[in-house]
Structure 1
Amino acid sequence: MDYCKNIIAKFISAMQKRPGLLAVLAFLSGVASFALVDRKESFSQVIAIFLLISWLWLIIDNWLRDKVEEKFGVAVSPNVMRFALQMVQQESLFFALPFFLAVTQWDHPQAIFTSLIVLCAVISVIDPFYYKKLAKNRTLFSVFHNFALFVVLLVTLPILLNLTTSQSLAAALVTAVVVTLPSLNNLMPNAPWWRFPILVLILCALSTAVWQLRSYVPPAALRLTDITLAHEVDLQHKKPVGSIKQLDSYTLHHQGLYSWTAVKAPRGLNEKIFHVWLHNKKEVDRITLNINGGRELGYRAWTHKVNFPSDSVGKWQVKVVTESGQLIGLTKFTVTP
């Protein structure tokens, strides 16, 4: 027991004396996760479990430190606990980041969400700001931590449970809300009783707002590897013949257009997606497709549109979206007189 006590004491002392070194190690761990884009499911599962444990750690922070001091006679600094949480947050954010960077349409509002992930990841490795500003504000720290949980669940749930993108978004949002509820009392320990239900209502309102803005959240598990417009598809090789970016109205009405897409998804995932045709930013058609995950170059599928408005001249878009309206990718073409 004395040996364990000495080891723990030395470890804690080293952490307190060399926070810069440990921060560098944590940052390198995050960079390693960022580089490992082709991850195994078991790795994703470990990260998700670690993050859930770290949230529990946040809730029982004081109790856990008291137990360690009682058992080993070592007073654990709150900064030590914060550092452990910081490492998990870094790993979670940097783990999820490459998935979102790969699927984000940067000319779409979903770029805001991915930029927020980048910002949080950067904050997690800037110790002066993290410890002096974020960690000392329990409300901000709780929001930051649960956002990291929300982000990593968006990535791991489709991989681990084969949930669709819509189901994963709903499950991640509900989980983030549920795990936030116990911490509300810690955020206002001496507040009147009526403030708790008000905060719960505010939390529910924010969750509803996030759901309404779900189109801003990139579908982390689905990546559009190719999208092509053509007059013909080679059925034997399942490839489009040629590529069209501009055509005249006569050709459009007499030949129609194929929208050919290849969407990469995790193995075992079955997802319903839509080809949404827009003319001058107005939706004119929505065609359903079912895709299956697992193919390296993406699941190949196409739709053939032959019914176009009589006045089809103008700018067109074909968006590939999920059942919940999250944008997977898009292409554009122009129709001339």
Structure 2
Amino acid sequence: MISPTSLIPQVAEQMRRYPGLLAALAFVSGVASYILVERKTALAQLIAILLLVSWLWLWLDNWLQERLQQRFGVSISPTLVRFTLQFVHQESLFFALPFFLAVTSWTHGQAVFTLLIIGCALVSVIDPLYYKKLAPQRTLFVVFHAFTLFIVLLIILPVLLQLSTTQSLQVALAAAVLLSLPALGPLLPNGRWWRAPVLLLLLSVLSAGVWLLRSYIPPAALRLTSITLSHQVDAEQRKPGQNITQLDEHSLHKQGLFSFTAVKAPRGLHEAIYHIWLQNGIEVDRIKLAINGGREQGYRAWSHKQNFPANALGKWQVKVVTESGQLIGLTRFTVTPANAELASKVQPQPEAQTDL
């Protein structure tokens, strides 16, 4: 019978000899986890728990090693710990990446954030970069570690605890900033009375900076499955009319516009979103809607805007955003000068509607 003490060195040696297998396993595992999270709520919660446990294990690594040595006489190989840490980074990044790829607006600053995740995922699977460039740089490595935890929490907190996107962002940011504390310590001399206040100030500045840039962080738990601008909505069937990308000013004032959206969210998640109407880059209206997660095709909600400026000419956008201002998606339309043809009349409808 193979004992754990002899098995662990064998596993470590195989991981050292075939590092590519570790990267391939992490990639396949991450993508498979994404598919399971998308399809089964119970499996999504299980995967979320396993990821949290793995991160907790890494956090308590030294303490656990001492207890295992004292109680069972088992010493965990540093090589095994090193490869396990790399595997957790790879698994976390490849688990998170499909979520962010699915929700990123590539014409928006969100693309920078998602490209950063792609870059980190590549670094985690290229050993010369991970072990020779990243790992020796303690400050950079801790920041890499904190960033990986940050993006994982953005996904699993709404799934596991049904936290809203804003709440998940706040909790993930707090966890990542606290985890970054060891990276800031070596930047300041020991034994100085102002060390602690300056560390707190650095953490506050770091938190404030990320929070101010939150609009560039895609809300990974929410996905805009459709957005349509139309003159009418079938309230019974909950379907929009023909999509409009250009209309004249007379039709706009006469009939108004419906912004019909379907937003997919984890089951059990209750989220407030906003339809923000902008004319030539300037916000002219903000309409609040509420969604409930769990619908396969997304929770359908719409707003009906009829009060447009007297001069409505120009390029318009309708942005769908979270309470914290994270962009879920957007659509555009153009208003041209009025022509002689009048638009047909429609019955007035409520300003905002959602599924029951």
The Cα of 1:184 is off from its aligned counterpart by 5.1
Three-state SS of the structure 1 residue aligned to 2:7 is helix
Matches within 5 A, 1:170-209: 170-181=170-181, 183=182, 187=186, 191-193=190-192, 194-209=194-209
Is contact 1:33-1:91 (8 Å) kept?
no
Q: Does residue 25 of structure 1 match 2:25?
A: yes
AA of the residue aligned to 2:216:
Y
- Using the alignment, how far apart are the partners of 1:322 and 1:295 within structure 2? 18
The residue number in structure 1 matching 2:343 is none
The residue number in structure 2 matching 1:268 is 268
- Using the alignment, how far apart are the partners of 2:180 and 2:53 within structure 1? 14
Q: Does residue 318 of structure 1 match 2:318?
A: yes
Three-state SS of the structure 2 residue aligned to 1:136 is coil
Matches within 5 A, 1:73-88: 74=75, 76-77=77-78, 79-88=79-88
Return closer, same or farther for 1:286/1:73 CA change in 2, 3 Å cut-off: closer
- Using the alignment, how far apart are the partners of 2:180 and 2:51 within structure 1? 13
Residues 251-260 or 27-36, more deviating: 27-36
- Using the alignment, how far apart are the partners of 1:39 and 1:280 within structure 2? 40
Residues 211-220 or 200-209, more deviating: 200-209
Cα shift readout 1:134-179 (whole Å, capped 9, x = no counterpart): 1122211111111111101111111111111111111111122234
Return closer, same or farther for 1:136/1:62 CA change in 2, 3 Å cut-off: farther
Cα shift readout 1:47-99 (whole Å, capped 9, x = no counterpart): 5445544545555545555565665465722x421210111111111111111
- Using the alignment, how far apart are the partners of 1:188 and 1:49 within structure 2? 34
The residue number in structure 2 matching 1:161 is 161
TM-score (norm 1): 0.89
Is contact 1:55-1:145 (8 Å) kept?
no
Cα shift readout 1:199-247 (whole Å, capped 9, x = no counterpart): 3321221111100111111111111111111111111111112221111
- Using the alignment, how far apart are the partners of 1:150 and 1:301 within structure 2? 30
- Using the alignment, how far apart are the partners of 1:196 and 1:334 within structure 2? 54
The Cα of 1:24 is off from its aligned counterpart by 3.9
Q: Does residue 256 of structure 1 match 2:291?
A: no
Return closer, same or farther for 1:20/1:307 CA change in 2, 3 Å cut-off: closer
Return closer, same or farther for 1:120/1:214 CA change in 2, 3 Å cut-off: same
The Cα of 1:32 is off from its aligned counterpart by 3.7
Return closer, same or farther for 1:248/1:2 CA change in 2, 3 Å cut-off: closer
The Cα of 1:5 is off from its aligned counterpart by 2.3
Is contact 1:262-1:300 (8 Å) kept?
yes
Residues 8-17 or 276-285, more deviating: 8-17
The residue number in structure 1 matching 2:150 is 150
- Using the alignment, how far apart are the partners of 1:139 and 1:199 within structure 2? 14
Three-state SS of the structure 2 residue aligned to 1:173 is helix
Three-state SS of the structure 2 residue aligned to 1:38 is helix
The residue number in structure 2 matching 1:3 is 3
Return closer, same or farther for 1:300/1:167 CA change in 2, 3 Å cut-off: same
- Using the alignment, how far apart are the partners of 2:138 and 2:51 within structure 1? 17
- Using the alignment, how far apart are the partners of 2:156 and 2:319 within structure 1? 25
AA of the residue aligned to 1:246:
Q
Identity level (%): 61
Residues 191-200 or 59-68, more deviating: 59-68
Three-state SS of the structure 1 residue aligned to 2:300 is strand
Q: Does residue 281 of structure 1 match 2:281?
A: yes
Three-state SS of the structure 1 residue aligned to 2:3 is helix
Is contact 2:34-2:99 (8 Å) kept?
no
Three-state SS of the structure 2 residue aligned to 1:168 is helix
Three-state SS of the structure 2 residue aligned to 1:99 is helix
Is contact 1:275-1:288 (8 Å) kept?
yes
- Using the alignment, how far apart are the partners of 1:269 and 1:75 within structure 2? 40
Is contact 1:41-1:160 (8 Å) kept?
no
The residue number in structure 2 matching 1:99 is 99
- Using the alignment, how far apart are the partners of 2:128 and 2:134 within structure 1? 9
Is contact 1:51-1:149 (8 Å) kept?
no
Aligned length: 335
The Cα of 1:26 is off from its aligned counterpart by 3.5
- Using the alignment, how far apart are the partners of 1:63 and 1:268 within structure 2? 36
AA of the residue aligned to 2:117:
I
- Using the alignment, how far apart are the partners of 1:188 and 1:57 within structure 2? 27
Three-state SS of the structure 1 residue aligned to 2:285 is strand
Gaps of 5+ in 1: none
Is contact 2:147-2:176 (8 Å) kept?
yes
Cα shift readout 1:242-293 (whole Å, capped 9, x = no counterpart): 2211111111111111111111111111111111110011001111111111
